[in-house]
Structure 1
Amino acid sequence: MPQLLVRDLDQDVVDALRRRAATHGGSAEAGHRELARLLRRNCARLRLSPYGKRYSERRRDQP
């Protein structure tokens, strides 16, 4: 299974992710997986790139 390592997160982001995991009764790792799934699903639904531009804007920018 692929892995993802994210470096140099702000401490407040790390703390918020840990609090979210504790609130939902799961591990931080499981919470991160769920957030990644939600991001992918919502980007696809809204036709957004995970990098911030709408699909139509990316297509327009291409030669």
Structure 2
Amino acid sequence: MDFKDGAVLGKKNIEALEAINFDLNRLDVAEALHDKLSNLLSESTMSPKELEELKTNVRRNCK
């Protein structure tokens, strides 16, 4: 399952996620990360700096 699948599945089950106090903003973050990762992958020209920034953003937003 990728970020987007998880976000879509989560948005279909908001009541269950709210019941466990899940931060629903993470669903939006997951979708945004999916879009960014897809774009970067399609470009296939990621510089080392961009790669480190991406890793940092993923770590920060997936805690």
Indicate the TM-score class for this superposition, using the shorter chain for normalisation. 0.3 to 0.5
Indicate the structure with greater helix content: 2
Q: Which has the higher contact order (CA 8 A, sep 6+)?
A: 2
* TM-score, reference length from structure 1: 0.33
Based on CA coordinates, which of the two structures has the bigger radius of gyration?
Answer: 1
